[in-house]
Amino acid sequence: MASFNDTVDSLRRRFQQANQPLPPVTLGAINRDGILPTSFILSLSTAYLTLTPCNPGSFHYAKSFGEQADNPTDNDTLYWLASATKFITTIAVMQCVERGQLDLTEDISRVLPEFKDPQILTGYNENDDAIFKPATKTITLRQAEKFPHQFLVFEPGEQWMYSPGIDWAGIMVERITSMKLGEYMQRYIFDVVSVKDVTFHPEQREDLRARKAKTWELGSQGLEEKPGPPFPGIIEGDFGGGGLHATVNDLLIIYQGVLLGKLLQPETVKEMFQPQLENIKGLDKPHEYSTGYLNSIWNAVPAEVPVNFGIGGLINTETVPKGRGVHSLTWSGYPNCYWWMDINNGIAGVYLSQLIPSGDPNSIELLTEFEKFVYSSLES
């Protein structure tokens, strides 16, 4: 344990000396047998650690690093998850699939008439007006989980592209259940696993407003605090692609709920962790992307490890050395939030911060070291 603390301290000092300091961050991981204790909490200045070494095979880790004089960062700090929301929205979508309310293979225009007769953007005319042509294929929910805009830029199934597809999938949940997405999640996800502090609307709870992490921007002069949310206005609705706020332990409980089969059936989970793309164009040439974009998509998966896309996140199709097993899911959120779930080894982990811009290389370095620590701890 001390050695990992030393690793984090060493990294933070190096980043500070390079005028690239990290803001407060919270790291968490849990396995299927992990127990979140209610009383055993070791306080280390502004860092809090909970471990369950007393139960053989049990692993739960949650610790915060860094200082904020007027608002200490601890394991109750509320983080904006941004696109790390998408996995929880995917859980909601797949629950609806299990009930027969949605179908992965059917045309989404049954629920989203906005996508009837989809159009493909082919370019612009001399007046900068968009030029479209009709798509020859319909869009299925399986594809909507991965790439659709309200208009297309290629035929469904031809290429992967980052897009608001999960937002549309969340709207489908709202329409077929006649519930707001947050209401649905509260009843069928949060209440099921007994988490209290996951919400689209922290402004509605005074206790959560007081625990929100500050947002920081890294520039040439180091860290600068950014007042207010990075994107004012996006919290008006239940934004399934990026609107949730949560604490580290609530996230770990949700992830463990998937690992234990409390939230989804085993066959559903198995399907989610299988490669879904026949054509991996868009994910096949990672070295052509900028560092920030690469880090935002690949997270701690090395660029030389082949990937595909599952239902809910990126999948590594080979084992990551000293880390996650094959067919693990991962994704990130704009303010350098990252998570992974290793279904084969029964492990989930998360890295939470509120640092912009996204894809920060130092954050990825710390995330990578944390992942190595988690797996080495479980092997010992």
Q: What is the CATH number of the domain that holds 299?
A: 3.40.710.10
253 vs 250: CA distance, rounded Å: 5
Count of structural domains within the chain: 1
Mean pLDDT of the chain: 87
In a domain, 169, yes or no: no
* Model pLDDT, residue 142: 74
* Model pLDDT, residue 232: 60
273 vs 251: CA distance, rounded Å: 19
In a domain, 143, yes or no: no
The pLDDT-based confidence of 72 (bands split at 50, 70, 90) is: very low
* Model pLDDT, residue 57: 74
The DSSP code for 152 is B
Query: Is the model's pTM score more than 0.75?
Result: yes
Domain housing 288: 72-98+178-366
In a domain, 120, yes or no: no
238 vs 250: CA distance, rounded Å: 18
* Model pLDDT, residue 161: 75
What is the per-residue pLDDT across 249-271, written as a single tens digit (0 to 9) for each? 999 999 999 999 999 999 999 99
Least confident of 26-40, 270-284, 315-329: 26-40
In a domain, 239, yes or no: yes
pLDDT reading at 108 higher than 70: yes
In a domain, 2, yes or no: no
In a domain, 92, yes or no: yes
pLDDT reading at 71 higher than 70: no
Strand runs labelled E in 125-226: 130-134, 215-219, 222-226
In a domain, 200, yes or no: yes
What is the per-residue pLDDT across 193-236, written as a single tens digit (0 to 9) for each? 999 999 999 999 999 999 999 999 998 888 999 887 666 654 56
Percent of the chain clearing pLDDT 70 (strictly above): 85
151 vs 85: CA distance, rounded Å: 23
In a domain, 260, yes or no: yes
241 vs 234: CA distance, rounded Å: 10
* Model pLDDT, residue 221: 85
